[in-house]
Every structure is written in C-alpha cells, then in structure tokens.
Amino acid sequence: MRLVLPPVASLQPAMSWRARITALIVACALFMQNLDSTVVATALPAMARAFHADPVHMSMALTSYMLSLSVFIPASGWVADRFGSRSVFRAAIIVFTLSSVLCGRAGSLWFLVLARILQGMGGAMMVPVGRLVLLRTVAKSELVAAMAWLSIPALLGPVLGPPVGGFIVTYVSWHWIFDINVPIGVLGAVLVTLYIGETAGKEAKPFDWAGLGFTAVSLVALLIGLESASRDVLPWPESAGLLAIGAAAGLAYWFHARATEHPLVDLGLLRIPTFGLSVAAASLFRIGIGAVPFLLPLLLQVGFGKSAAESGLITFASSAGALVMKPAAQYALRKFGFRATLVCNGAISVITIALMAGFRPAWPVAAIYGVLLTGGFFRSLQFTAFNSIAFADIPPAKMSAATSFYSTAQHLSLTAGVAAGAAALEISSKLFGHAPPSLGDYSFAFLAVAAVAMFSVPVSMRLAADAGVELSGQPVR
C-alpha cells in the first residue's frame, strides 16, 4: 500500500539521502569559494614582499578575481544547459582547484593576476551551477532544508577568511592560502562523480554573444566605479564616468534583451512575482549584510585597537549563530509562511546591524557576542528564505537562466554593500574632519547600511500571503 502525504502536511518530510549528500557537496564547494574570496586579502602584504611589489598594487589580485566572476557568471546558465549541470559543476571545481595551485606557485604579480582570472572563471561556474544542481536534484518539499545548508557557507566564508588567513600567513606561508583548496577540490570532484546524476536542459539555445558583451561592460564598469568611488582610488569624475558607462551598458542590454529570443540574462523572469520580489528584496538586504564583514573587523582592529586574532575570534560569533539556524528554518517557514518570516525576520536582522553602531570598547565582550550570535542566526534564516522562495515558481525549463540571474544579482549587491560601507565611512570622516575615522564614523556607517537593508522589508511585504506554501508546508488558510 502506498502512503500519500497531503501537500499541506503539518510536518515537513525529512530530506532524502540523495538530497542531503547533494546539499553537502554543493555547500562545501561554495564554502571553498567564499573562504577564498576573503582569505586572500590577509595574505596580500606577505605576497607583496615576496614579489618585491608595491602593496597598493596587490589589490589587483582581488579585483581581477571579482571582475572575472562578473563577466562569466551570466553565462553559467547557458553553459550548464549546453554541457550538463553535473559536468560543468565538476569541471568548475577542477578549474578552481588547479588555478588555486597556480596561484600558490606564482612568482610575480602578473602571474598571480592571470591565475586569479582563471580562478574567477571556475568560481563563476561553480556558484550558480552548484545551486542549479541542487535545484534539479531535490524535491520542492526538500528545498528549504537544502537551501539552509547553502546559506551557511555564504556566512561562514567572509567571517572565517580573515582569522584563517592571518594564522596561515603568520605561522606557515602565504602559499597555503591557496593550497588549502586542493584537498577540498579533489574530494568535491570525486563526490560529484559518485553521487550526483547528470542533468541538462531540454535544448541548447544559441549563445547570446552580444548580451555577454553588454553585461560584461556593465558589471565591470559598475563594480570598478563603486570600488573607486567608495575608496577614493580614482578622482570622482572618473568614478562617475565608470558608473555612467555601466548604467548605459545595462540600459543597452535591456533593449537588446527585449529584442532577442534567447537573451543571456532573461529579464522576463522578473515578471514572476516570487522571483522578481525576492531578487529586489534580497539585493537590498545583501547590501546591508555585505558591508558588515568590511566594517566590523575595521571597527574592532582600528577603532578598538584589538589584534587581528582577537578580532577574528569575535567576528566568528556571527557564524556560530548561522550554524544553529538550520533546524529552525523549516519550523519558522512552516509556522508563519514566507511573507511573514521575511518581513519580521528581516526587521530583526536589520536591528542587529544597527546595534553594531553602538559597539564601544567599554562594552562587555559577552554583549558583543550576544548581538553577533543573534544577528548571525536571523540573517542566515533570511538568506534561506530568500534563496528558497526565489525559485518556488520557476518552470524547469527556466531554472538555469534563473540561477545565473540570481547569482549575478547576488554578486553585484554584495560588492555594492562593501562599497556602501566604505563610502558611508568616508563621508562621515570627511564631514566631521576625522582622520582616521572615529568611533562615531563607524556608527554612522553601520546605521547607513542598516537603513538600506531596511528597504527590503516593505518589498517583502508585497509577496502573496500564500507564496511558497508548497515549499514551506504551511497549511492553506
């Protein structure tokens, strides 16, 4: 006799074995990419000494990777449909791992930059295609639990990166910054081969080369413009010119996409309410969250005078909060639904960012830990909800296009968050004549990015009350 559960069962079914192992494999790959994105910054001074290069020029090792991600992420959906999501995901892990080996063997800045560009190509395929593998493997009833796994590496990487990088550079060698990816990458490629089945799109559509050109110019110009404007890297007219070029290229792509049958980034997906509202709200929320890994270590080290090791141990608290969230995600969404969870939980998450504006050296460490633990928990729940509801109503034929679109928006908003935090800090310090920034300037920056993130709450309120019931298992009222 076959037992059939109603779609509004009071309890979510446990994840199947295949869904669980797939989620763990993808989560480990994403953790490797997120950790690498932040850990490298700690090693730049040591690499500058090894290369006999100006430390200022070492920022090219970071920007080359970011720009490579920006160029190739939009193409990830088409590549997965053309060659199969498992094959592309495995190849991306291999490329990322091999390029990590090349980075560790670099003997000059230019060799490192070229290796980082190659590493960015692997990362651009690994992140969205890994999510696509998961979406094509798990049932909708398992999606919330699976996405809970993926939200953890996104929060762990930026927090663990600085302390791990500082330890490796201090006690081992900067080469190991990249070599730690090798065992993770080898294990990941083997596990993908053994446990993940091949899935591909129904048809290989023509590749949109013109769309790739427009999106590449737009994203690269916007990212460089945001970075230079927030950190005074270029004179403001040049930064404004880059932002204008990025906006113009984005507008040109919009016209191009309307006239193209198979655009690289399908803007028509925004007409799906759960996807369009999730992209808009999640982007605003990520701008606020993206500034925290930049502002908090600066506050602790420059403002409080703590060492890098002490700062890393404190910021790790937000990761611990994220880890305890996973069991609560399904319960919260089943109990309250997506809309109520995103609205109430989003407001609480923003409040925890605003509370960081009050951090002072006189605060007990336990109180700081309490704020960071609480913030990590609610932010992780928010990411899980956004990452799940975004794909609730996407038809299977559009899933690859949706993952590349969502990943592009995610990358741009997180970068904008760092730029927004740096810009707010710079504006406050210049406005009040503080050099270096004072504690009050950090408070202004935290409040500014919290205000941006708060705009995600009214956007989330536009979701339908029953949005995502098939995912959450919430009873229909």
Q: What is the pLDDT of residues 389-401, one digit of tens each?
A: 999 899 988 888 8
Q: Is the peptide bond before 6 cis (omega within 30 degrees of 0)?
A: no
Please report which confidence band the pLDDT of residue 284 belongs to, taking 50, 70 and 90 as the band edges.
Answer: very high
Q: What is the CATH number of domain 268-477?
A: 1.20.1250.20
Per-residue confidence (pLDDT) for residue 371, from 0 to 100: 93
Tokens 């413009």 -> residue: 225
What is the C-alpha radius of gyration for the chain, rounded to an integer number of angstroms?
22
Residue 54 has pLDDT above 70, yes or no: no
Provide mean pLDDT across the span 373-381. Answer: 89
Q: What are the helix (H) ranges across 108-180?
A: 109-137, 143-171, 176-179
Backbone angles phi, psi at 468, to 5 degrees: 75, 20
> How far is Cα 360 from Cα 262, in angstroms, rounded to an integer?
53
> How far is Cα 274 from Cα 468, in angstroms, rounded to an integer?
8
> How far is Cα 343 from Cα 386, in angstroms, rounded to an integer?
11
What's the pLDDT tens digit per position in 148-162?
Answer: 777 777 666 666 776
Q: Which two tokens stand for residue 194?
A: 């053994």
Q: Mind giving me the DSSP string for 7-50?
A: TT-SSPPPPPHHHHHHHHHHHHHHHHHHHHHHHHHHHHHHHHHH
User: pTM, whole model, 2 decimals?
Assistant: 0.82
Domain ranges in the chain are 6-202, 208-263, 268-477
Residue 3 has pLDDT above 70, yes or no: no
Provide mean pLDDT across the span 203-208. Answer: 78
Class in CATH terms, 6-202? mainly alpha
Strand, helix or coil for residue 462: coil
Q: Which two tokens stand for residue 463?
A: 């979701």
List of residues 6+ apart from 96 with CB closer than 8 A? 32, 33, 119, 122, 123, 126, 181, 185
For all residues of the chain together, what is the average pLDDT? 83
Distance between terminal CA atoms of the chain? 30
Please report which confidence band the pLDDT of residue 173 belongs to, taking 50, 70 and 90 as the band edges.
Answer: confident
% the chain with pLDDT above 90: 31
Are domains 6-202 and 268-477 of this chain identical in fold?
yes
